[in-house]
Chains A and B, each alone.
Chain A
Amino acid sequence: MRLLLFSLKRIILLVPILLGISVVTFTMTHVLPGDPLYILLSPYAKQEDIQAEKVRLGLDKPLYVQYGIYLENLLHGDLGYAYRTRRPVTEDLKQRFPATLEVTMLALVLATIIGIPLGVQSAVKKDSSSDHFVRILSVGGVSLPIFLVGVILVYFVYFKWHLAPPPMGRIAMNVPPPKTITGLYLVDSLLTHNWTAFRSSAWYIMLPVFTLSFAMLAPIMRITRNSMLEVMNTNYVRTANAFGLPRQTVIYKDTLRNALLPVITSIGLILGWSLGGEVLVEVVFSWPGMGNYAVNSILNTDFAPVQGFVLVTATIYVVINLVVDLLYTAVDPRITI
């Protein structure tokens, strides 16, 4: 019950942050040097359209009025119009959201399932060969740019070894996508027992997920390892050992339980950082997600979608951080609500 009240409190605190985000995106288009018209409209727009847009955005009015209009539009879900696709930005983003979600979620799950145990192992067997392996993998994961990893994977796994499909979409061209329930191809094909679609989507999503996962793996492993090492040196772990509790118990109930707390906090940050990485993955694999959409818009000098994309991802990030915060509060008894 108190957790609920706390959640409400935190949700209300979101509002100023969200407002702040809207101010920043507003500033980016309307205040910073650069003609907002140029930014928000395609250079091929016709004179009448430019005039109409000018009025619609209230560009002849004072700034705070412009912001008011902007905010009002936002609250109605209006993120502007994309000239490239001839559709409202909101609709474009909505359509592409599941593709992004699918890769990001799978990558996170994979990275956690592999990363945390490896991090634990690395700390418990410090300075052993497995520890060195994990540390090398960590450093490699942090040093290799995501887009490079994607490119390398495409070259070897697809081109040389023929173990992956060409980086051209979510599903093979001759396989119709599954019926849309969630928009997540894997989930939808499972729900509709469409095994062909499932196999094909899994086949196509494999490399993008590995790429993003590899990038997330490094920080997860390293944070788990460092956290474990720190907790292993605490007084209470010493006590647990001093009272003769079995090694496994001490590792899991004393060390890991406490070491995972900072890892949970970091997951939020890692996810935020992967939202950026996801953009790069989508570009490398021509994955039809929001990130690719934004980048293609940039290349076509269609900028309204980009601002919409920035706003939406920031909002998602803020919500993710809230969820992580709440999760942490629920798990750590020391946090008083």
Chain B
Amino acid sequence: MDDTLLRVSDLKIHFFTYRGIAKAVDGISFDVQRGEALGLVGESGSGKTVTGMSVLQIIQLPGKIVSGDIVFKGTSLVTMPEDQARSLRGGKITMIFQNPRTSLNPVLTIGEQIDRVYRQHTGCSAKQTQERRFEMLEKVGIGDSIRFSKNYPHQVSGGMCQRAMIVMAIICEPELIIADEPTTGLDVTIQRQITELLGEMRQRINATEILITHDLGVVAETCDRIVVMYAGLLMEIATTKDLFSRPRHPYTIGLLKSIPRVDVDEEPIPLPGYVPNAYSRPAGCPFHPRCQFAEEICRQQEPALQEIEEGHFVACHLVEEVG
């Protein structure tokens, strides 16, 4: 049965600046099934954050969705009128950002900021909102929620801010949560806490999650399926198990080789070269300049995503020979 919550079809997002056109996302398609945790993985500049923001339709000029569609429960988000989109944001679809400290308004108390999201989407009274807020703060492990609510963002640590953001993101029981590098920039011990908390909360309200990150370790633990992005295009889509045990795209293979692993007895080998600039992506397969298997066809033609096994998609001309 098709339980697709979100479907992205041939999405292209370009930024029109005085330096030229930056093709941040240049034709990606994937689905998100209800209830799953999808990992959107890529290095900086791969277009993953832009993709996440486009679901919420908060891409600002000079960026534009130039073509493609994002369909949420059967309704197109791209063509949705603004006020309708606004009622979805924070309600049915929410986003958690990185750098929680800078993502909160510095002149409002944390309590105020959580409250207004809740009241906007539910219209509850002040008292009801407050009760709900205390309830949620406790669930995310905030001890003194009264005091915490009166604090300003700069008065609490990054980890605490992120907990507050998590509350904001789940307080209206959304169907889809997009988490953009929620643990980047936090202390390592806190990172673990937040990752676990997020997973726990998500399961409690039965929400679907898209986790955007560059950290393969995190997706290994928390995600059901993984989408690998590079230079605005998709390289590989697979279940977590399949991706880590049988990666088929040279980029994925290279990525996995470049991180230290406990289950494999080898030295990490970093990927040669650099991520291409969004203004000047190489022709053909975007990865070909760094790929050890690259051949003529890779330089000329952009590979399409092929389903090589059930649920395992790869965009590589030479997928048969590789791996």
Which A residues are within 8 Å of any B CB, using their own CB?
A: 234-236, 238-247, 249, 253-254, 257-258, 261, 332-334
A-B contact pairs, 26 of them (CB 8 A): A235-B99, A236-B104, A239-B103, A239-B104, A240-B105, A241-B58, A242-B56, A242-B89, A242-B90, A242-B95, A242-B97, A243-B94, A243-B168, A244-B87, A244-B90, A244-B91, A245-B116, A245-B120, A246-B86, A253-B108, A254-B105, A257-B105, A258-B107, A332-B107, A333-B106, A333-B107
Q: State how many angstroms separate the Cβ of A68 from the closest Cβ of chain B.
A: 48
Our count of residue pairs bridging A and B at CB distance below 8 angstroms stands at 72
A residues near B53, Cβ cutoff 8 Å: 242
Residues of A within 8 A of B56 (CB): 242
A243 to B170, CA, bound (A): 11
Alpha-carbon distance A242/B120, docked complex (angstroms): 13
**Do A235 and B58 touch across chains, with their CB atoms under 8 A apart?**
no
Chain A positions within 8 Å of B139 at CB level: none
Chain A contacts of B86 at CB under 8 A? 244-247
Contact with A along B102-118 (1 / 0, CB 8 A): 11111110000000110
Contacts A235-B102, A245-B90: A333 and B152 contacting too (C-beta < 8 A)? yes
A255: nearest chain-B partner, CB-CB: B105
A239–B107 contact, CB under 8 A? Answer: no
How far in angstroms is the closest Cβ of chain B from A253?
7
Q: How far is the CB of B202 from chain A (nearest CB, A)?
A: 17
Q: State which of B88, B97, B154 has its C-beta within 8 Å of the C-beta of A239.
A: B97
Q: Which of A234, A235, A249 has the most CB of B within 10 A?
A: A235
A243 to B91, CA, bound (A): 7
B34 within 8 A of A: no
Q: Which 8 A-B pairs have the closest CB atoms?
A: A243-B90, A244-B89, A244-B90, A235-B103, A235-B102, A236-B105, A333-B152, A239-B103
Quick one: closest B residue to A241, CB to CB? B58
Measured CA separation A187–B58 after assembly (Å):
51
* Residues of the A chain whose Cβ atoms lie less than 8 Å from the Cβ of B90: 242-245
CB-based contact B106/A334 at 8 Å: yes
Flag if A238 contacts B116 (CB, 8 Å).
no
In the bound complex, how far is the Cα of B94 from the Cα of A236, in angstroms? 15
C-alpha spacing A240/B168, complex, angstroms: 11
Which residues of the other chain, B, contact A242 by a CB distance below 8 angstroms?
53, 56, 58, 89-90, 94-95, 97
> Distance (Å) between the CB of A25 and the closest chain B CB?
40
B121 proximal to A (CB < 8 A): yes
Q: A239-B165, A242-B95, A244-B86 are in contact. List 8 more A-B contacts (CB 8 A).
A: A235-B97, A235-B99, A243-B117, A244-B89, A249-B116, A257-B105, A333-B106, A333-B107
Q: Could you tell me the distance between the alpha carbons of A253 and B117 in the complex, rounded to whole angstroms? A: 13
CA distance A236 to B165 in the complex (A): 11
B40-82 contacts to A, CB under 8 A, are: 53, 56, 58
- For B94, what are the chain A residues with a Cβ–Cβ distance below 8 Å? 242-243
Measured CB to CB, the nearest residue on chain A to B108 is A253
Task: Looking at the assembled complex, report how far the CB atom of B40 sits from the nearest CB atom of chain A, in whole angstroms.
Answer: 17
- Give the distance to chain A from B31, nearest Cβ to Cβ, in Å: 23
Q: Give A232's nearest chain B residue, CB to CB.
A: B60
Q: Once bound together, how far apart are the Cα atoms of A247 and B88, in whole Å?
A: 14
Minimum C-beta distance from B68 to chain A (A): 21
Distance from A259 Cβ to chain B, minimum over Cβ atoms (Å): 11
Provide the residues of chain A in CB contact with B116, threshold 8 Å: 245, 249
Q: Is the CB of A243 within 8 A of B89?
A: yes
How far, in whole Å, are A244 and B97 apart by their CA atoms in the complex?
A: 15
**Per-position binary interface string of chain B over residues 152-167, scored 1 when its CB falls under 8 Å from any chain A CB and 0 otherwise:** 1010000000000100
Q: Is the CB of B88 within 8 A of A244?
A: yes
Report the separation of the CA atoms of residues A239 and B87 in the bound assembly, to the nearest whole angstrom.
14
A238 touching B105 by the CB < 8 A rule? no
CA distance A334 to B165 in the complex (A): 19
A238's partner among B87, B88, B97, B121 (CB-CB below 8 A) is B97
- Residues of chain B within 8 A (CB-CB) of A332 are 107
A238 CB contacts on chain B under 8 angstroms: 58, 97, 103
In the complex, the answer to whether B120 meets A246 with C-beta atoms within 8 Å is: yes
Residues of A within 8 A of B89 (CB): 241-244
Q: Contacts of A245 on B, CB cut-off 8 Å?
A: 86, 90, 116-117, 120
Beta-carbon contact of A236 and B102 below 8 Å: yes
Pick the most buried of B107, B121, B168: most chain A CB atoms within 10 A of its CB: B107
CB atoms of B102 and A234 under 8 A apart: yes
Q: Which residue of A lies closest to B171 (CB)?
A: A243
Q: Which residue of B lies closest to A254 (CB)?
A: B105
Q: Distance (Å) between the CB of B3 and the closest chain A CB?
A: 25
Q: Which listed residue (B104, B105, B108, B120) contacts A244, Cβ 8 A?
A: B120
- The docked-state distance in angstroms from the alpha carbon of A247 to that of B83 is 10
* Residues of A contacting B152 in the complex (Cβ-Cβ under 8 angstroms): 333-334
How many Å lie between the Cα of A238 and that of B50 in the bound state? 13
Chain B positions 272-303 with a Cβ under 8 Å from a chain A Cβ:
none
Q: Give chain A nearest CB distance to B36 CB in angstroms.
A: 22
Residue of B nearest to A243 (CB): B90
Q: State whether B120 touches A243 (Cβ < 8 A).
A: yes
Question: Do A244 and B102 contact each other (CB < 8 Å), given the known contacts A235-B97, A334-B152?
Answer: no
Task: List residues of chain A with CB within 8 A of the CB of B168.
Answer: 243
For A240, the closest partner residue in chain B by CB is B105
Instruction: Say which residue of A249, A261, A334 sits within 8 Å of B154 (CB atoms).
Output: A334
The answer for the CA separation of A240 and B114 in the assembled complex, in Å, is 11
Closest chain-A Cβ to B255's Cβ sits at a distance in Å of: 28
Given contact pairs A245-B117, A245-B120, A334-B154, A236 touches B91 in the complex (Cβ within 8 A) = no
> What separation, in Å, do the CA atoms of A258 and B97 have in the docked complex?
20
**Given the complex of chains A and B, what is the CA–CA distance between A327 and B286 in angstroms?**
55
A254 vs B116: C-alpha distance when bound (angstroms): 12
Q: Within 8 Å CB of A333, what residues of B?
A: 106-107, 152, 154
Q: Which residue of A lies closest to B61 (CB)?
A: A126
A267 CB to nearest chain B CB (Å): 18
B248 to chain A, nearest CB (A): 35
**Which A residues are in CB contact (< 8 Å) with B104?**
236, 239
Residue in chain B with minimal CB distance to A331: B107
Are B103 and A236 closer than 8 Å at their CB atoms? yes
- Least CB distance from B172 to A in Å reads 9
